[in-house]
């Protein structure tokens, strides 16, 4: 066994992910920010926007659900573990910081995918017809990776107070929801809004979800996928690099 080998470290990352699933999925802040918040936000919007078609609303809900769920678990883990001193235990174990981050991301990705799939099933039960299933599945997987990396990036500031990170996370997540074509279709956005929306990975995911259900899209599908892939890569590499630098400051 070579403990530094890639596959060995991936196995150890999976051990971290299993631990996160057992511990963090049912923590109050994760459920509030990851599940209840998008549901109530959607319901408020649904009540006040009866003129919009169901396919638009459900696509928005799916986009919002994945975004909120996949970014709910990952930012909380490092501060929680820093406060409980369990991060110190991990730091003294033969696992790289990159593998710890990957493990946390896997837990976050699975949480996001699991709840989003439920939302998709609800949408289909309400009468939506899925036109491009493979595109939707690929988009959900890619976006879950991307959003979970965003969640990990939000946890980079070396504080061990989870509520600080949750506040910072809300401060960044809410504006992104409003500029990503969830509540206002991209076609109806002013030029400045559109300029902002191209900077948000959520825009491309929402566009792909709409395409999967209605065949309509703003950007070409390949652009949406390529943009999500680039965002995922940049955020993942960035979060691993930054956590490696800030982790000793949490001890």
Binding positions for other proteins, rule: CB under 8 A: 1, 3-4, 8-9, 11-12, 14-16, 18-19, 22-23, 84-86, 88-96, 248, 251
Q: How far apart are CA 100 and CA 122, in angstroms?
A: 34
Nearest-approach distance from CB 30 to other proteins, in angstroms: 13
Estimate the crossing angle of helix 54-70 against helix 201-214, to 10 degrees.
140
Nearest-approach distance from CB 10 to other proteins, in angstroms: 12
Q: 83 near 164, Cβ under 8 Å?
A: no
Q: How far apart are CA 71 and CA 144, in angstroms?
A: 9
DSSP summary character for residue 106? H
Output 21 or 137, the one with its CB closest to other proteins: 21
Output 66 or 95, the one with its CB closest to other proteins: 95
Place of tokens 């991990």: 90
Output 227 or 247, the one with its CB closest to other proteins: 247
Nearest-approach distance from CB 154 to other proteins, in angstroms: 22
Output 48 or 248, the one with its CB closest to other proteins: 248
Tell me the DSSP string of 52-73.
Answer: S-HHHHHHHHHHHHHHHHHTTS
Question: What tokens does 146 get?
Answer: 């991307």
Output 91 or 184, the one with its CB closest to other proteins: 91
How many Å separate Cα 151 from the centre of its chain?
Answer: 6
Q: How far apart are CA 208 and CA 156, in angstroms?
A: 29
What are the Cα distances from residue 21, in Å, to 24, 67, 216? 6, 18, 36
Nearest-approach distance from CB 142 to other proteins, in angstroms: 28
Nearest-approach distance from CB 6 to other proteins, in angstroms: 12
Nearest-approach distance from CB 182 to other proteins, in angstroms: 34
Output 138 or 246, the one with its CB closest to other proteins: 246
């Amino acid at each position: 066994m070579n403990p530094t080998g890639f596959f060995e470290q991936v196995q150890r990352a999976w051990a971290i992910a299993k631990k996160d699933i057992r511990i963090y999925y049912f923590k109050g802040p994760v459920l509030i920010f990851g599940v209840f918040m998008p549901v109530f936000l959607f319901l408020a919007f649904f009540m006040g926007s009866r003129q919009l078609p169901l396919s638009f609303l459900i696509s928005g809900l799916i986009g919002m659900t994945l975004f909120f769920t996949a970014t709910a678990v990952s930012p909380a883990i490092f501060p929680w573990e820093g406060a409980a001193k369990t991060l110190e235990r991990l730091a003294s174990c033969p696992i790289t910081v990159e593998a710890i981050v990957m493990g946390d991301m896997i837990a976050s990705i699975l949480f996001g995918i699991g709840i989003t799939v439920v939302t998709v099933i609800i949408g289909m039960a309400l009468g939506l017809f899925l036109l491009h299933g493979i595109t939707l599945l690929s988009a959900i997987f890619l976006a879950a990776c991307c959003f979970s990396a965003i969640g990990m990036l939000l946890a980079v500031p070396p504080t061990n107070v989870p509520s600080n990170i949750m506040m910072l996370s809300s401060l960044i997540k809410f504006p992104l929801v409003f500029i990503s074509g969830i509540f206002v279709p991209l076609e109806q956005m002013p030029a400045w809004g559109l300029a902002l929306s191209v900077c948000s990975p959520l825009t491309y995911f929402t566009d792909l979800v709409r395409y999967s259900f209605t065949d309509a899209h703003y950007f070409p599908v390949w652009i949406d996928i390529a943009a999500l892939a680039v965002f995922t890569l940049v955020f993942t590499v960035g979060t691993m690099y930054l956590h490696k630098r800030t982790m000793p400051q949490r001890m």
